[in-house]
Structure 1
Amino acid sequence: MIQDIGNHTYHVEYHPVPLARDGILLSYQGRKVLVRLTGDKEFVYPRHADYADIGEDQFRWLFAEDRAQFYLAKEALPERDGFTYVSINFMRAARPRYLAFAGIAGLSLHNWYSNHIYCGHCGRPMVHSENERMVHCDHCHTMIYPRICPAVIVAVRHGDKLLVSKYAGREYKNIALLAGFAEVGETIEETVHREVMEEVGIRVKNLQFYKSQPWCFTDTLLFGFFCDLDGDDTLKVDHGELATAGWIDRKDIPEDTEKASLTMEMMTLFKQGVY
């Protein structure tokens, strides 16, 4: 999956390091990130040496991978010297994987910082904590931490068939498993039952937690569950959420070429008869 970065280690501990010439820069325009393409799916990010004319105060430390330090450009850097903005979805299959993951994690933090320049309670400018990743208001004492939204990915089995869907109104057009966000006051298991009922009108049983995945494209922490159909297999599709939904045979599940998402990993395990 996208966060599996091999022998590299993602250091999220908040220990800012002063910007040096070899500091890696992450710059965003909407959902685009600045890179230099070095191959079909290969790329590099700019380093501070590539933008040495821009002052150090225009960058914010984000995190580290191994000893490489990553910094966020507070304002979008200009395209030059082969560096250009590409869709963040490029990172789903890009190489090297550890850099692709950094770009996605950086986007989530970029959006969080951008959305909390001012206090949502009193409107004063927010102040960045020197001790942790948090912004606070010195006037009303509001404190804001990065937003992470819990959600479920649900693989509903019916013998040798799996329930798959296509999202309505989304950029991603391939088949996927059912998914949805947890609501206030419910357990993650209750989310599974509710989302399946709301989206396709069926009941499920035998919930089995598989694994979780940070999905920074949408600031989400995904919880993957396998489960079985409980009763009638007739689907009542909510077309406000889903374009289509239906049962698919194991043998007809497509190959996972990106190896980025929890959804495709779970579908592949069902295809292989593991789950």
Structure 2
Amino acid sequence: MIQDIAPLTFHNQYRRRLPGPHDQVLIYQGESVAVLRGGNGELRLPSRGDLGNAADEDFRYLFDISGIGYFLYLEKMPRAYRNSVESVRKLRQEKNKDICYAVATGFQLYVWYRDNRYCGRCGKRTEHSPDMRMLKCPHCGNEIYPKIAPAVIVGVKDGNRLLLTRYAGRAYKRYALVAGFNEIGETPEETVQREVMEEVGLKVRNIRYYKSQPWGVDSDLLLGYFCDLDGSDQIRLDHDELETGEWFEREEIPVEDDGISLTRAMIRAFKEGEIK
């Protein structure tokens, strides 16, 4: 999955420090990020040294990967990079998994900083805590922490069959699994039951946790679960959410693992017999 960058290690503790010349810089504009490509298409991010004229206060520390710091550029997109931006969502397909992970995770923090410049309680300008990743309103004391939205990915199985779905009204048209956000006052297991019933009209039992994944592009924390069909296998689609819902025998599943998403990892696990 996108976060599997070993032997490199990811450290997300907030540190109040300035960037060194070799530290990496994330420069976002909307849902795009500035990147550099070599003659062979090899991907890299700008370094602090590449932005030599920028002031140190124009950078905010985000995290580090194996000792290399990653910083958010706080000013507008520099003119030199305006023709070197690429979609944050499309970059997740790149082979440089550490860069993809850094771009996605950095984007989550970029959106949080962008959307919380002012206090949602009193409207005053917020200030960054010197000790932790938290924004605080100096007027009313409101404390704001990074947004993390829990959601479930659900592998509904019936013996040797797995339920695959396709979203309605989205650009992504490939097969996926039932999915949805955790709502107020419910456990993830209750979310599994509710989402499966809402999207495909099926009852499930024997709900069990598989794996999780941070999905920074949408500020999500994805929780993967498998469960067994309980009763009728007749699918009743919510057409506002899904275009199709189909049962596939294990050997006939037309999806391969992309090495990026929890959804694909779960489909592979069932297809290869890891999940019986």
Task: Give the CA deviation at 1:216.
Answer: 0.9
Q: 1:106 corresponds to which residue?
A: 106
- 1:8 corresponds to 2:19: no
Counterparts in 2 of 1:255 and 1:242: CA distance versus 1, 3 Å: closer
Q: 2:224 corresponds to which residue?
A: 224
Aligned partners of 1:46 and 1:83 also within 8 Å: no
Q: 2:161 corresponds to which residue?
A: 161
Q: How does 1:1-275 map to 2 (within 5 A)?
A: 1-38=1-38, 42-78=42-78, 80=80, 84-256=84-256, 258-275=258-275
The CA RMSD measured in Å over matched residues stands at 1.7
Aligned partners of 1:253 and 1:268 also within 8 Å: no
Aligned partners of 2:210 and 2:224 also within 8 Å: yes
Bigger mean CA offset, 56-65 vs 146-155: 56-65
Deviations 1:68-106 (A, max 9, x none): 011101134235379711111233221321121001000
Task: Give the CA deviation at 1:31.
Answer: 1.2
Quick one: which amino acid aligns to residue 169 of structure 1? G
Query: Partners in 2 of 1:39 and 1:220 — Cα distance?
Result: 35
Query: Partners in 1 of 2:161 and 2:206 — Cα distance?
Result: 16
SS at match of 2:176: coil
Task: Give the CA deviation at 1:114.
Answer: 0.1
Query: Partners in 2 of 1:69 and 1:13 — Cα distance?
Result: 11
Counterparts in 2 of 1:270 and 1:247: CA distance versus 1, 3 Å: same
Counterparts in 2 of 1:257 and 1:66: CA distance versus 1, 3 Å: same
Quick one: which amino acid aligns to residue 239 of structure 2? H
Query: Partners in 2 of 1:152 and 1:78 — Cα distance?
Result: 38
Percent sequence identity is 43
Aligned partners of 1:149 and 1:221 also within 8 Å: yes
Aligned partners of 1:24 and 1:71 also within 8 Å: yes
Deviations 1:195-216 (A, max 9, x none): 0001111100111111111111
Deviations 1:1-55 (A, max 9, x none): 0000011110101123212221210011111111112377730000111111222
Task: Give the CA deviation at 1:161.
Answer: 1.5
SS at match of 2:8: coil
Task: Give the CA deviation at 1:160.
Answer: 1.9
Query: Partners in 2 of 1:100 and 1:42 — Cα distance?
Result: 13
Query: Partners in 2 of 1:98 and 1:222 — Cα distance?
Result: 19
Bigger mean CA offset, 118-127 vs 72-81: 72-81
Deviations 1:111-141 (A, max 9, x none): 0000000001110000100000000111111
| TM-score, L = length of structure 1 | 0.95
Task: Give the CA deviation at 1:255.
Answer: 4.4
Query: Partners in 1 of 2:52 and 2:109 — Cα distance?
Result: 23
User: What 5-or-longer segments of structure 1 have no aligned partner?
Assistant: none
| TM-score, L = length of structure 2 | 0.95
Aligned partners of 1:104 and 1:217 also within 8 Å: yes
Aligned partners of 2:34 and 2:81 also within 8 Å: no
SS at match of 2:139: coil
Aligned partners of 1:36 and 1:82 also within 8 Å: no
Task: Give the CA deviation at 1:59.
Answer: 1.4
Query: Partners in 1 of 2:40 and 2:268 — Cα distance?
Result: 25
